[in-house]
Structure 1
Amino acid sequence: MLQNRVAITEVNKNPAEDLKYLVVSGEISENMDNFTKAKALYKQAISIAQKLEDSKQQSLLVYKINSQNPRYPTS
C-alpha cells in the first residue's frame, strides 16, 4: 500500500498532501529501522517542499536525513 501511495504522489494534484504523507511514511520507515527507505521518502518530500517553496520543511527533512542511525550511511 505504501508503495502505491508513493507512486501516486508523482501525479497527484495536491503536493501539500503528498508532502505530509511522505514525511509520515518516512517516519514510519525510520521507526521500523528501514533507514534506506526513510531516506528515499524524505528525499522525495524535499523535492516537493522545494516546489512549494517551504524552506522550513526542507530544513527539517535534511535534519531528519542527517540524524538517522549512524550505522547506515546518509550519502
Structure 2
Amino acid sequence: MLQNRVAITEVNKNPAEDLKYLVFSGEISENMGNFTKAKALYKQAISIAQKLEDSKQQSLLVYKINSQNPRFPTS
C-alpha cells in the first residue's frame, strides 16, 4: 500500500498533500524501526519541499535524517 502511494506521488497534482503523506509515512516507518525506508521517504519529501520552496520543511526533514544517532548513517 505504501509503495503504491509513493508511486502516486510522482503523478499527483497536489505536491503539498504528497509532502505531508511522505513525512507521515517516514515517521511511521521510523517508529516501526525501518530506518532505511524512513530515510528514503524523507529524502523524497525533501525533493518535494524544494519544489514548493518550503525551506522550513526542508530543514525539518534534514534534521530528522541527521538526528537519528547511529541508526541512520548520514551518507
TM-score greater than 0.5 by the shorter chain: yes
How many corresponding residue pairs? 75
TM-score using structure 2 length: 0.95
8 Å CA contact 1:19, 1:45 repeated in 2 = yes
Identity %: 96
- On the 8 A contact 2:66/2:72 being kept in 1, the answer is no
Offset, 1:11: 0.5
Contact 1:35 / 1:69 at 8 angstroms: preserved in 2?
no
CA contact (8 A) 2:35 2:71 kept: no
Question: Where does the alignment leave 5 or more consecutive residues of structure 1 unmatched?
Answer: none
- Normalised to the residue count of structure 1, the TM-score between the two structures is 0.95
Where do residues 1-16 of structure 1 align in structure 2 (5 Å cutoff)? Answer: 1-16=1-16
Alpha-carbon distance between aligned partners in 2 of 1:53 and 1:26, rounded to the nearest angstrom:
20
CA RMSD of aligned residues (A): 0.9
Q: Where do 4+ consecutive residues of structure 1 move more than 6 Å?
A: none
